[in-house]
Amino acid sequence: MRCTKAIVYKDFIRHNIQQIKSTLNCKTKLCCAVKADGYGCGSLTTAQIAQEEGCEYLAIATIDEGIELRNNNISAKLLLLSLCTPDELEYLCKYNITPTLYDSQLVKDFDKVCEKNSTTQDVFLAVDTGMGRIGCYAEEAPSMAKFICQECKNLNLAGVITHFAVSDSISDANIKYTKEQAKRFESAIDGIKALGIDPGIRTCASSAAAMAFPELQMDMVRPGIIIYGYYPDQITKQYLAERNIEIDLKPVMQFESQVVSIKHFKKGMSISYGRTWVCPEDTDIAIIPAGYADGLLRRNSPGMEVTINGKPYPIRGRICMDQCMVDIGQNNKDVKRWDKVIFFGPKEKGALKDANDVANETGTISYEVMTSLSKRVVRHIV
């Protein structure tokens, strides 16, 4: 068992899901995003807890992610948020995965595959209201809905979905943009209804919109990041409290390692590749067996501080593929060989920084910090 590992607190996953549920309108369904291995925290664990908490849908990004869940007895509906290729369509039937589609070619292909497999499958119609990614334009949505319902005998229009580009931002211009997107989505839905077609489940809100714009929860929300314990970008606990939305999130993942050696370095000696750090005075350096191949972002060096026994210490020199070096100062009685080192984690478990703090230091987001943890970092679900 390698000492560089990720601890996943499953009670915190449950706590966060319960927090989200407490903010939902009574008829709004929950679709928990478990894509990218549950944002690095483990998709199966998250899926199991989400199911126990009454979550009807789980959101995935690839068919392989869906197959893994099905092979582990996950029975919730699976919503595929990204597109797949024609040769993958077969697996949507075999594993009962609901795709989000929007162009007549792929819709037609999927209908044929369903026909061949003698099944009827649900699909969601993706509408691009301003995200600039997948989806038909709002004006095209009614005719696409009609095509699915009237030309495709083996498909059932189970819902319509759109995604916001800036719902995690609190600037006036961005709030305005989100409202415009929502308006376009409403007009697409109205157009579908005007043709006498039931649009099914209307869903537009991920974590940010679900919390910051409760009126946009519609029939289903699709939270991801809040399940794993983080507020989306600019939406903070304080921002929500000012709007009378009480939500308490607990970071789920702790990334940790151990001090495997302590070495004395003399003034003028250099640390790591590129010699970017030259000791300005004599010091002791702790060697940690974790590097960028584990997901410790190289651009966090030098300078990122790690926690050892409740105190912060800086990484010196560049983070290597498998190791990094931490300056503990001379004759430090607080740090001993084999002590635990925490890169990030929940503060109530002793970390000084969480994934969002690490992200802020390098201009990224908690999502990237967590999903960067690689496969060789074993997840210990506790």
Active site residues: 35, 273
Supply angle C-alpha 353, 356, 357, rounded to 5.
45
Taking a C-beta distance cutoff of 8 angstroms, is the pair 352, 312 a contact? yes
The torsion region of residue 40 among left (phi > 0), alpha (psi -120 to 50) and beta comes to: left
The residues near 240 (Cβ < 8 Å, ≥ 6 apart) are 211, 212, 231, 246, 247
CB of 122 to ligand PLP, least distance (A): 17
CB of 126 to ligand PLP, least distance (A): 8
CB of 146 to ligand PLP, least distance (A): 24
Q: Assign residue 27 a region (left: φ > 0; alpha: ψ between -120 and 50; beta: otherwise).
A: alpha
Angle, nearest 10°, between helix axes 63-71 and 43-52? Answer: 60
The phi and psi torsions of 98 (rounded to 5 degrees) equal -95, 115
**For ligand PLP, the closer CB: 78 or 114:** 78
Nearer of residues 111 and 354 to ligand PLP, judged by Cβ: 354
Residues forming contacts to ligand PLP in the complex (CB under 6 A) are: 33, 59, 81, 163, 206-208, 222-225, 232
| Residue closest to ligand PLP (Cβ) | 224
Cβ 28 to ligand PLP shortest distance, Å: 14
Residue type present at position 269: M
Q: Which of 321, 331, 289 is nearest to 306 (CA)?
A: 289
Whichever of 224 and 229 has its CB closer to ligand PLP, that residue is 224
User: Shortest approach of ligand PLP to residue 107 CB, angstroms?
Assistant: 18
Residue with tokens 């010091």: 283
Closest CA to 61 of 30, 97, 105, 94: 97
> CB-wise, 46 or 207, nearer to ligand PLP?
207
Question: Residue 89 or residue 225: which is nearer to ligand PLP going by CB?
Answer: 225
In the bound state with ligand PLP, the residue whose beta carbon lies nearer, of 159 and 224, is 224
| Nearest to ligand PLP of 134, 290 (CB atom) | 134
Nearest to 60 by CA among 95, 39, 88, 36: 36
Cβ(334)–Cβ(341) under 8 Å? no
Q: How far is CA 360 from CA 100, 146, 236, in A?
A: 33, 46, 14
**What is the number of other CB atoms lying within 10 angstroms of the CB of residue 150?**
10
Amino acid at 143: S
Distance in Å, CB of 201 to ligand PLP, minimum: 13
